[in-house]
């Protein structure tokens, strides 16, 4: 059986301290969902006149809602320790911060995050139906791992470009071509990223079906035991003739 805790540990280890500033490393343990939302709202306000930037919060909300609902759902699973979501919130916020100086690519990144949110399953509904099915945690752990991996790769692209341009966070003419080539390659891999999330969705849905079948069988067995018990009581209560 797949160890969900190991999946989670491996996912967090993808966020290498060598790619982060000292401030970012410290932030990993205290990031909140509200930080991401506040950042997006502030960015939208600063660029209120830009039709390109407008509506970012609406685009990214499905993904944030999924991350939040998964964590809340996992808490109700028996014998499962809550997963610390702060690293997930942190890396999502960091990649958005790193990308926002590149307006054209920022909007492309947000569109990708929106599509990821759209393909993710409504896991919280399954947990409400099958609160003791441990295998569902494995599916969520894989989803978190892939969200982190995607954001880490994207952040690295923007951070490297920022450093190339003397940390001015502007696209210099000398690096526009190389950056575009790097991004095109990253964008070309996005289909595989979505495929991976679809596979996780299929896994969770299959596990939910298995849980439903198991629940039905358990109920049928309980009904059978109850019926047999009622029959035994009836036989024993019948008057004896002789």
Domain ranges of the chain: 4-237
pLDDT at 79: 47
Q: Is 160 in contact with 27 (CB distance < 8 Å)?
A: no
Please report which confidence band the pLDDT of residue 102 belongs to, taking 50, 70 and 90 as the band edges. confident
Considering the entire predicted model, what is its pTM? 0.76
Reply yes or no on whether the pLDDT at 167 is more than 70: no
Please report which confidence band the pLDDT of residue 227 belongs to, taking 50, 70 and 90 as the band edges. low
- The whole-angstrom separation of Cα 48 and Cα 206 is 44
Q: Is 48 in contact with 110 (CB distance < 8 Å)?
A: no
The residue with tokens 């029959």 is 231
Q: Which residues contact 27 (CB under 8 A, 6 or more apart)?
A: 90
Please report which confidence band the pLDDT of residue 111 belongs to, taking 50, 70 and 90 as the band edges. very high
**Percent of the chain surpassing pLDDT 90:** 14
With b for 16 or more beta-carbon neighbours within 10 A and e for fewer, the 105-116 pattern comes to bbbbbbebbbbb
């Amino acid at each position: 059986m797949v160890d969900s805790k190991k999946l989670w540990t491996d996912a967090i280890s993808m966020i290498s301290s060598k790619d982060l500033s000292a401030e970012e490393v410290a932030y990993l343990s205290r990031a909140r969902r509200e930080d991401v939302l506040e950042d997006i709202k502030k960015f939208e306000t600063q660029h209120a006149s830009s039709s390109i930037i407008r509506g970012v919060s609406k685009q990214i909300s499905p993904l944030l809602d999924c991350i939040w609902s998964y964590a809340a759902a996992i808490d109700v699973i028996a014998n499962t320790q809550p997963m610390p979501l702060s690293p997930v919130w942190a890396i999502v916020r960091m990649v958005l911060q790193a990308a926002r100086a590149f307006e054209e690519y920022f909007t492309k990144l947000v569109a990708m995050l929106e599509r990821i949110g759209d393909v993710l399953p409504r896991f919280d509904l399954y947990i409400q139906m099958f609160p003791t099915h441990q295998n569902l945690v494995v599916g969520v752990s894989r989803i978190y791992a892939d969200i982190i991996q995607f954001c880490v790769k994207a952040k690295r692209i923007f951070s490297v470009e920022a450093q190339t341009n003397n940390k001015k966070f502007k696209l210099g003419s000398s690096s526009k071509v190389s950056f575009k080539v790097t991004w095109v390659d990253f964008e070309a891999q996005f289909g595989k990223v979505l495929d991976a999330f679809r596979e996780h969705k299929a896994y969770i849905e299959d596990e939910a079906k298995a849980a439903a079948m198991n629940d039905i069988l358990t109920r049928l067995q309980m009904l059978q035991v109850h019926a047999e018990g009622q029959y035994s009581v009836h036989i024993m209560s019948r008057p004896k003739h002789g």
